[in-house]
Amino acid sequence: MTSLLEVEALSIWDSRTGNVIIPGNSFQVREGSCLAIVGESGSGKSVTGRAIVRLNKTSLRQSGRIWFNGENLAELSEQDMRKKRGKSIGMIWQHGMRAFDPSRVIGVHLRETLAGHFGWSRDVITDRMKTAMESVMLKNPVEVMNKYPHQLSGGMLQRIMIALALVLQPELVIADEPTAALDTVSQFEVVEQFIRLRERMDCALIFISHDLGIVKKLADDVLVMKSGEIVERGTVQAIWSGAAHEYTRHLVTSRQALNDHYKRMTGGGRDAER
């Protein structure tokens, strides 16, 4: 299986303070695979995800090479990068509310995005989004498109972003802590939609998370980050059953301890990974 994305010597630093956030990391994502980037808050995983599509705040500078389908994204103009975002590389962020303009109904954002990439008419966009939204278990999609972001739950907003990805058909989707702000039931539903997203599109996925239970369900490969550095990498099975780095073992054992506690509290029922 060939690499869809290759990140080489990615360094990120704060231009105001000189503080180095990412010291020169390299990794790759295989076509059709899911790479999970895990670590505690402040480990640099989200900054890494945003660096791929060049969406970090302007005070953060970066260097290195980011090869996507053989093209170095670091060398593209901002105009060319805008064409890549969404259409070639989809993005699903932690807080669905921040992904949409709060002053306009959801449908306006969807129409502008799809018209910008494909030039489709309003009717075509509504028809395609309706089908995609129904496929991710959103009821009354036309009614939903006429609502403002604050009128929808976090889980609904995440599913709208997944539905948009289904219509855009990107080769790579970057999901940055997409379940962190959701309740347990919504987390389970959104994870199930990510599983179906991969099945339908056969796209590659970068799933950024601190939740190893979710990672175990979704990922093929794992990068473990601590203080900006990649301290361990491997298949999800290898990381879960035979982590070499002390920090990784701490993450795994903490998750297992949570599962054990949950089972004791519930009399041995479903574990906390769900």
Q: What is the pLDDT of residues 38-64, one digit of tens each?
A: 998 899 999 999 999 999 999 999 999
Q: Which helix (H) or strand (E) holds 223?
A: strand 221-226
Q: Give CA–CA dist 87/255, Å, rounded.
A: 35
Residues with Cβ within 8 Å of 123's Cβ and at least 6 positions away in sequence, in order, are none
Instruction: Provide mean pLDDT across the span 20-24.
Output: 97
Q: What is the pLDDT of residues 89-117, one digit of tens each?
A: 999 988 777 789 999 999 999 999 999 99
Position 179 scores a pLDDT of: 85
Distances (CA, A) of 111 to 78, 81, 100: 22, 20, 12
Q: What pTM did the predictor assign?
A: 0.88
Position 263 scores a pLDDT of: 52
Buried b / exposed e over 134-152, threshold 16 CB at 10 Å, is ebbebeebeebbeeebeeb
Q: What is the pLDDT of residues 109-143, one digit of tens each?
A: 999 999 999 999 999 999 999 999 999 989 999 99
Count Cβ atoms below 10 Å from residue 259 Cβ, excluding itself.
16
Percent of the chain predicted with pLDDT > 70: 92
Category of 42 on φ-ψ map: left (φ > 0), alpha (ψ -120 to 50) or beta? left
Is the pLDDT reported for residue 1 higher than 80?
Answer: no
Name residue, tokens 């791929």: 52
Q: Give CA–CA dist 61/261, Å, rounded.
A: 43
Coil/strand/helix, residue 92: strand
Band (268; pLDDT cuts 50, 70, 90): low
Name residue, tokens 């609502």: 147
Beta strands in 98-193, from DSSP E residues, in sequence order: 172-176
- Of 19-33, 66-80, 185-199, minimum mean pLDDT range: 185-199
> Which CATH superfamily is 3-103+168-266 part of?
P-loop containing nucleotide triphosphate hydrolases (3.40.50.300)
Q: What is the pLDDT of residues 154-198, one digit of tens each?
A: 889 999 999 999 999 999 999 999 888 788 888 888 889 899 888
